[in-house]
Amino acid sequence: MNALPAPASPIAVVGWGRSGQGAAGALASRGFDVRAFDAKGGGPLHF
């Protein structure tokens, strides 16, 4: 099994909450590979 290549874009990990949604959107629009975690117990989000 071959490993996937590393993403070309930088990775940002943010908390997903009231302010995290705006931060995640801003980072995604700049080409970041955003990984967000729901602070209220939901699963991780990736976009």
| Per-residue pLDDT tens digits for 2-12 | 565 555 666 66
Render the burial of 28-39: b for 16+ CB within 10 Å, e for the rest: beeebbbebeee
Is 32 among the domain residues? yes
> According to the model, what pLDDT value does residue 2 have?
57
Is 4 among the domain residues? no
* Rounded CA separation 27/13 (Å): 10
DSSP 44: E
Q: Which residue has the higher pLDDT, 45 or 9?
A: 9
* Rounded CA separation 45/25 (Å): 12
Report the number of distinct structural domains present in the chain.
Answer: 1
* Rounded CA separation 24/36 (Å): 7
How many CA atoms, within 13 angstroms, populate the side-chain half-sphere of residue 18?
0
Is 17 among the domain residues? yes
Residue 13 has pLDDT above 60, yes or no: yes
